[in-house]
Structure 1
Amino acid sequence: MPIVHGWGRYPVVEAEIRSPVDPPGIAAAVKSRARPVIPRGMGRSYGDSALSDQIIDCCGLNGVSAFDFEAGLIRCGAGVTLSDLLTHSVPKGWFLPVTPGTKFVTIAGAIASDVHGKNHHLEGCFSEFVESFDLMLAGNEILTCSRHQHVDLFHATVGGMGLTGIILEATLRLKPISSTVVEQITFKARNLQEALHLFDAHEASAYSVAWIDCMVTGPAMGRALLMLGEHSEFGGLSLPDKRRISVPFDVPTQTLNRFSIKAFNWLYYHRIRQARSSQRVDCESFFYPLDGIHGWNRLYGKRGFLQYQFVVPKHAGLEGLTALLKQIVESRRGSFLAVLKLLGRANQNLLSFPIEGYTLSVDFKLEDGLFELLNELDAVVLDYGGRIYLAKDARMKEATFKRSYPRWMQFQEVRSRYGALATFSSRQAQRIGLD
C-alpha cells in the first residue's frame, strides 16, 4: 500500500487510496469501505488530519460549473485548488476574500480547515464567503448545506476536518480587485511589545502579518518585521509568471541548527534598514511567498517537521506570547519561519480555530525532546485560554483538545445525527477522542 503523510512529513502511514472523479465514484468508495475513511485533497494539512487506513482522494472533483462574473459568485468542485480558482477569477477582476499562506490547497480543504489569512481581524475565516456546499453523508445522501439549509451540518463541517462527510461542490463569493499588485508597508519592530503595538495601531489595514525572531533573548525578544498590505489600483490583472525553484533532496538534519537559524534570523531582520519602508509587490509574493519554493518541506530533513500554531486571547496577548516565546528561546529550538497574525472574533463553526487574539505559528524540525517541549507549550496556551490549530496539529493530546474546543460534544452530536461516527475518521480524530 502507498505511504502517505501530511506536509510536515510526520506521521507516515500506509493507506489504501481511492481516487474517484465524480459523485457516483465517491459514493461507491464510501459504500465499499472496510474501515472508516477520510477525504483528502492536496495533502497540505501538516499532521494527521487527512490520514487514515482508507483515504478518498477528492482532487478529481476539479471542475468549475458556474461563474457569475457580475456578482463574483463561483461554483466549483471540491478538488479545485485555490491556484486553479485564481487562474479563472483574477483576469476577470476577482480575488479570494480570504486566503491561507499557500494557494495549493483545495476548496474542500479550505472549508474543512476553515482557513484564515492575513485579514482575519477584518474579514474572518474562509467560511464567511462560502455561500453553500453539497455534502455526501455516510449513507450516500447528498445535502446542500448553508446558513439557511441544514445549518447544524454547515457549522459542523466548516472547520470539522472532513469528519462529517465528503464535500462535493461549493459556491463561493469572491472579492473585486483592480490589480494584482499589493501596496506593502514594512515596519521594523524592536521587540514583541512594539510589534503588538504596531498591530493595534494599524488594525484598519486590509492585511497584516509579522515575521518574528524566535531566537533572541533579553530586551529584543520577539523583534519582528510587520508587513501591511492593501490592494493597489495600479498594475493590471495579469497574474505574475514566476518560475518556482525546487528543493531536490532532503537537507541534512544537522544543517538546520540553532547557529544557522540564529544567523539567518539576524540577516533577515537586519536586511530592512529603515523603521518604515514601502514597496509595491505582486500578489504571489505577498500572499504566497513559500509557494515559489517547490518541496520546501524538505528543508527540515528526512524526519520532517511539526508546525506549531496556537492562539492566545487578545487581553492576554503580550503576557501569554512573552511566556511562550521565552520557553521557545530557552529551548534553543527556534525556527527561521515564525509568523504572527492578529485574529478577529470567533465564528459559529463548532471546531473553527480563531478566537480574538494573536496567533503564532512556528516550525520545529522533528528531533528528540520536541514533543516534551510542545506539551509544555500546550500547558501555557491552555492557561491563557488559547488553543492549537487542528490543521497544523500532529501530536496534541485528547485532554488538551477537549479543554480548548468546548463545543466538541456538540460536534459529535451532529456527527451522530447524520451517521458519520462510524464512517469518517482520521488518525487525528482517533488521537483527540473524536473516533
Structure 2
Amino acid sequence: MKKLPTPARRTNLSASLAVLAVVAAGGVGTTAAWAQNYPITAQQRATAQQTAQAGVPLSELAPNAPDEYTVKPGDTLWAISRLYLLRPWRWPELWGMNINEIANPHRIYPGQVLYLDKSGGRARLTTRRGAGGEGGTIKLTPRTRFDSLSGMALPTLNPSLIEPFLSEPIVVDENTLQAAPRIVAGNDSRVLLSRGDRAYARGEKDSPLVEVPGPLQNYRVFRNATPLKDPGTGEILGYEAQYLGKVRLQRGESTTVETKDDKDYITVVPATVDVIAAREEIRAGDRLLPEPPRQLLSYAPRAPSTQVEGRIVSVYGNAVQFAAQNQVVAINKGTRDGIDSGHVLAILKNGETILDRTGEKKETIKLPNERIGLLMVFRPFEKVSYALVLEINDTPRAGDFIVNP
C-alpha cells in the first residue's frame, strides 16, 4: 500500500478528468496494469483540448445512462463506456483529457463512484458528486487517501479474452518457419507428444539449437503456416502459423566424433526439450520459435483517424467459418495502413448477390451491406491484424467488410 497525499486546490468545473488508458499484459496469467506513454497526434491533442472543456453531446448518451455508478470488480472500461455511450469508443471524450498527464493517465478502480454531469447540455463523467454548475468552483480540503498498487485498475477488456492471442497466433513470412528449429523425435519412440513428454530437436545447418547463458529458454511450437489471402485482391498478406504448445530447452545440440580406420566420423546429437504446455499433440516436423518477452500493450479504444475500408480475412481456429462475440478474427489491414492497437471498426455484412425473379425479366442484384457489429484491433502486423469481436447482432464471417465505426 502506498500513501498518496492530495493537496488542496481550486478546480474549475469545466475541467474534466484525465483520459483513462489501461494496459493489458502480454503473458497469460499477468493481470497487473501499467500506465505507458502513448503517442498523441496533433489531431488527437486538438480533440482532447476541445473535449476537456465541452464533454460530449447529450444525444451521445445511452438511453439508460445512470446518474451514478459504483465500479465493481470484474468491470471493464468498455462495459462502462457501453453503459453510458451509444458509441463507446468515444469514452475519452466523456471523461475528457488532461493534456499535462496524458503520458501517465489516471485509472478507474473498483469501489470508485462515477457521477454523470449533464450541465450545459453536455455530458461529462466525474468522481465528484454535484460537480456541475455555471462558472462555480470546488475547494478540495487536504486529505490523505490510500491506493493499492497491486494492479487493480480496470482493464479495457476482459484480459482472458485476448491474453492467449498475444503470444499464440503469429503471422510470419513464407520462409520463417522453414528456417526454424524442428522436432525430430520423441522420447521412447513416442509419435505424439503432450505436456510432460521429452523430445529432441535440431536447428538448421547454419544455426544449431544451442543453449545460451541465463535461464532455460522456452520455445513456442508451430505447424502449418496457412496463407492469409486478401479477399478482395488475392494478395498473400502473410502466413498464420498454428500454435501447438511450448517446450523448454534442457540441453543444446552437440556433436560426437568417432574414429574408425583412421577416419573421423561426426555424429549430431540433437537438443533435448521438454513439453511444458500443449494445446494440441506435438509431433516430429513441428517447428520451434523463441518465446518473445512479455509485452505490456496499451489499449485505448478509439476510431481510426483515417478512412478504413477492409475485409475480414479469416476467423481464428481450425475450420471455423463464422465468428461469435468475443472471438478473434484476422483483417486485411495492418501497420502499413495506419492500423494500431485499440482501433475500433464496424463490421458490415457482405450483402448477398441474388437473382431477382419478381420483375418482367430475371436480373442479378446485390443486397446492401448491413452493419452487424464492432471489433477492436489488439495485435497489428504489417499487412494483417488480429481483432476481437466486441459485439454483434448477426454472424460475421470471412469476407465481411470493416469500416470506420
| Range into which the TM-score falls when normalised by the shorter chain | under 0.3
- TM-score, L = length of structure 2: 0.27
Q: Which structure carries more strand by proportion?
A: 2
By percentage of residues, which structure has more helix?
1
Larger radius of gyration: 2
